[in-house]
Amino acid sequence: MWGLRSAVFAAMLVVAGCSEPVASGTLHAENRGGPDLLFNVSAAVQVRLPCDGGASLVPGVGGLPHLPWHLEVRRAADGAVVLRAEVTELPRWFVQLGDEVVGGGLNASPVAGPAGPPCGG
């Protein structure tokens, strides 16, 4: 009986060792009244974030690579860089409020606060 249990346990370890890494969190992105943004993740995926839009970027989901990421955020209209960051841990929060990035980049906690200015204004 112990021989069978040992064999099953060993098989479970082998299967667990072959599985893909589990997503370690989410990059939450919000654009509160700012210009449209483009998120480039490790040159593999581009996500467009329109004015008053939001997105959740999860490693290993929707074509996104696993961490670490080289993240570059640009304004869609003129390509100006808004943020460059190495993302090594999640969760993180990115909030654009009008023309400003709240906290100067990626925040370690959710960003409460005001709605942005009206879009197109």
Predicted local confidence at residue 46, as pLDDT: 92
Whether residue 49 contacts residue 77, with contact meaning beta carbons closer than 8 Å, is answered with no
Predicted local confidence at residue 20, as pLDDT: 41
**Which residues constitute the domain of residue 85?**
24-104
Provide the CB-side half-sphere exposure for 91 (13 A, CA): 9
13 inside domain: no
Q: Which two tokens stand for residue 109?
A: 């906690």
- Into how many domains does the chain fold? 1
* 22 DSSP assignment: P
Q: How many CB atoms lie under 10 A from the CB of residue 58?
A: 14
**Alpha-carbon Rg for the chain in angstroms:** 19
pLDDT per residue as tens digits for the range 68-91: 999 999 999 999 999 999 999 999
Predicted local confidence at residue 105, as pLDDT: 95
Task: Determine the Cα–Cα distance for residues 60 and 67; give it in Å rounded to an integer.
Answer: 9
6 inside domain: no
Measure CA of the first residue to CA of the last residue in the chain; give whole Å: 74
Predicted local confidence at residue 45, as pLDDT: 87
9 inside domain: no
Predicted local confidence at residue 121, as pLDDT: 64
Q: Residue 119: is it exposed, middle or buried by C-beta count within 10 angstroms (0-12/13-18/19+)? A: middle
59 inside domain: yes
Task: Supply the CATH number for residue 43's domain.
Answer: 2.60.40
Spans in the chain with pLDDT lower than 70: 1-24, 121
Predicted local confidence at residue 113, as pLDDT: 85
